Amino acid sequence: MTTCACIACGADRWSPLYRGLVRCEACGFVRADEIPAPDALANLYGAGYFEGEEYADYLGDREVHRFNFQRRLERLRAIAGGLLSLYEIGCAYGLWLEIAREGGIRAAGIDISADAVQHAHETLGLDAAAGSFLDAKLEPGAFQAFCMWDTLEHLAHPECEVGKLARLLRPGGWFFATTGDIGSKAALEQGETWRMIHPPTHLQYFSRESVTRFLARHGLRVARIETEPMCRSLHGMLAGLALFGRGRVRGAARAAAAILPAALTRRMRFTLDLGDIMLVCARKA
């Protein structure tokens, strides 16, 4: 069992929670017991991650992702006011950066997936780089905000990334993130079958309390936490259930995906808010 200190409170007492996960006895923060080595972690995020391993077809659902990002940008502006510049950690194919640029925001980002960054940089013409944020050379105060969309849970040592971005932010600068909420009603009811539990890609499991405590250790005060509704296509939903569903649900999803034309299922969309994904908005003191 892990012996490292809890990133939320600093304690080093852990107890088994579910298979592969441990919980801090002092504050309740949850993480994977085993953290992959950097090379092994990077290998998880090749082209296949976005094409059948984690996402069924990320770029095939491009317009759905853009819709979610456009709605998210409107929410951030309502919370933070005018945003002039932002930097995204885990920018993938650059769809959020593209939305930000269209909104008049100077945007840049980085991702460890070279295949995804190639699309962002060469196809979309974005300021996107392949590599680790910890190696990125950025000037303090160069960006008004940093973003991590569904990224925080993937990091082996999020305290390093968050510590760096907090140092780079000017006072009053913003940090925005989405991540699963293991303290949500859905997560508590589903226990070890909760849909967000799947190490080794998901390593960190925050609740509203633990993410607030974690960010405070880096001088970031949480201003707001909201649940995050997500628009999904029928294509993406069926593909996800076919990959990660159980029993009859998985079989039915595979059958439906094989029968229904992809062109049709990509156009059929719906919005769900299961209450287990949180949008975290924090500000440097």
Taking only the tens place, the pLDDT of each residue in 68-85 is 999 999 999 999 998 999
Most confident of 38-42, 45-49, 106-110: 106-110
Is 27 part of any domain?
no
Question: Cα–Cα distance between 6 and 216 in angstroms, integer?
Answer: 14
Q: What are phi and psi of 160, to 5 degrees?
A: -70, -50
Q: What is the pTM of this model?
A: 0.91
Is 1 part of any domain?
no
Is 10 part of any domain?
no
Is 52 part of any domain?
yes
Is 132 part of any domain?
yes
User: Which CATH number fits the domain that encloses residue 120?
Assistant: 3.40.50.150
Is 267 part of any domain?
yes
> According to the model, what pLDDT value does residue 72 have?
97
- Does the pLDDT value for residue 22 go beyond 80? yes
Whether cis (ω within 30° of 0) applies to the bond prior to 140 is no
Q: Indicate the number of domains in the chain.
A: 1
* Mean pLDDT computed over every residue of the chain: 92
- Does the pLDDT value for residue 247 go beyond 90? no
In this prediction, residues 37-43 reach a mean pLDDT of: 81
Is 275 part of any domain?
yes
Collapsed DSSP state (helix, strand, coil) of residue 53: coil
In this prediction, residues 213-239 reach a mean pLDDT of: 91
Give the pair of three-digit tokens for residue 135: 């190696």
Question: Cα–Cα distance between 5 and 160 in angstroms, integer?
Answer: 13
Is 231 part of any domain?
yes
> According to the model, what pLDDT value does residue 1 have?
56
- Domain of 178 in residue numbering reads as 38-284
Question: Cα–Cα distance between 129 and 148 in angstroms, integer?
Answer: 15
Could you report the per-residue pLDDT of 107-127, keeping only the tens digit for each?
999 999 999 999 999 999 999
> According to the model, what pLDDT value does residue 217 have?
97
Could you report the per-residue pLDDT of 188-223, keeping only the tens digit for each?
999 999 989 988 899 999 999 999 999 999 999 999
